[in-house]
């Protein structure tokens, strides 16, 4: 299991941090986790064609996590005529209705290959991997989920946007890698997101083997401050997310 961080930032434009998006490669398949603005461009920078994607897992439908979703579907309609393999698009509760009401009126899914849209179940076996989900605390208006991908005895967890929730601890228990919301420092924590100290606390309680804090809001303090606050609780390996940074377990 390996992949690349396509976007480690938020919806706030930064030259060095695109909106949230991750490429996950498992058992020969290529999957997006979220699809924020800049995702397609980052794939081009990696020389990995969007036409070779097998699907996408959306944590929630805030715009910074789906900003390139319509662009992806539009690109499929233009250049996907030679594709035959299906594309699987998953999201949290309410996602199918959101897709029908918000996406389809703007760009219809391609009709030249199977394009599946579904709300992700608690556990799913797909393409040689097991995908588990956990609802997260983020927004009062829309549902959000964390994803745990398992294959060959290895596991990677993506929290998406989330506030502190003790249910995340057993969900991420002993994961080989946890990519975790770390929006701010403790002093300026915002509702619906984790601060650096809380990110480190969850990683420590879950006894994960490695932590990548991500989803960085622009703050005046140096990124090293995030690392310092994460280390208050978590003593294992930590690597701050950077755009186009690879990861592997």
Burial (0-12, 13-18, 19+ Cβ within 10 Å), 59: buried
Q: Above pLDDT 90, what percent of the chain?
A: 97
Chain centroid to CA 91: how far? Answer: 11
Give every CB contact of residue 213 below 8 A, 6+ residues apart in sequence.
180, 182, 196, 199, 226, 227, 230, 238, 240, 241
CA distance 123 to 130: 7
Q: What is the pLDDT of residue 66?
A: 98
Q: What is the pLDDT of residue 186?
A: 97
Tell me which residues of the chain have a pLDDT lower than 50.
none
Q: Are 183 and 193 a contacting pair, CB within 8 Å?
A: yes
Q: Specify the pLDDT at position 222.
A: 87
CATH of 2-248, one of 3.30.230.70, 3.30.413.10, 3.40.630.30, 3.60.15.10: 3.60.15.10
pLDDT, residue 178, reads: 99
For residue 238, the model assigns a pLDDT of 98
pLDDT value, residue 162: 98
Q: Which of 96, 129, 109, 29 is nearest to 69 (CA)?
A: 109
- pTM, full prediction: 0.98
pLDDT of residue 225: 96
The reported pLDDT for the residue numbered 220 is 86
């Amino acid at each position: 299991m390996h992949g690349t961080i396509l976007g480690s930032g938020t919806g706030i434009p930064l030259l060095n941090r695109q909106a949230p998006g991750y490429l996950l490669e498992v058992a020969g398949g290529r999957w997006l986790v979220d699809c924020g603005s800049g995702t397609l461009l980052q794939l081009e920078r990696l020389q990995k064609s969007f036409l070779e994607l097998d699907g996408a897992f959306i944590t929630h439908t805030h715009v910074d996590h789906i900003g390139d979703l319509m662009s992806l579907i539009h690109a499929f309609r233009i250049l996907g005529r030679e594709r035959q393999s299906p594309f699987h698009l998953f999201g949290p509760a309410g996602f199918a209705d959101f897709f029908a009401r918000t996406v389809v009126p703007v760009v219809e899914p391609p009709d030249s290959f199977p394009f599946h849209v579904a709300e992700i179940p608690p556990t799913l076996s797909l393409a040689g991997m097991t995908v588990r989900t956990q609802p997260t605390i983020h927004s009062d208006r829309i549902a959000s989920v964390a994803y745990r991908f398992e294959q060959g005895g290895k596991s990677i967890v993506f929290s998406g946007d989330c506030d502190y929730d003790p249910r995340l601890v057993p969900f991420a228990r002993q994961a080989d890698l946890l990519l975790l919301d770390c929006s701010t420092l403790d002093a300026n924590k915002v509702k619906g997101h984790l601060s650096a100290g809380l990110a480190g606390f969850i990683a420590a309680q879950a006894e994960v083997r490695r932590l990548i804090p991500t989803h960085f809001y622009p703050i005046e303090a140096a990124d090293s401050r995030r690392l310092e606050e994460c280390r208050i609780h978590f003593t294992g390996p930590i690597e701050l997310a950077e755009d186009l940074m690879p990861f592997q377990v």
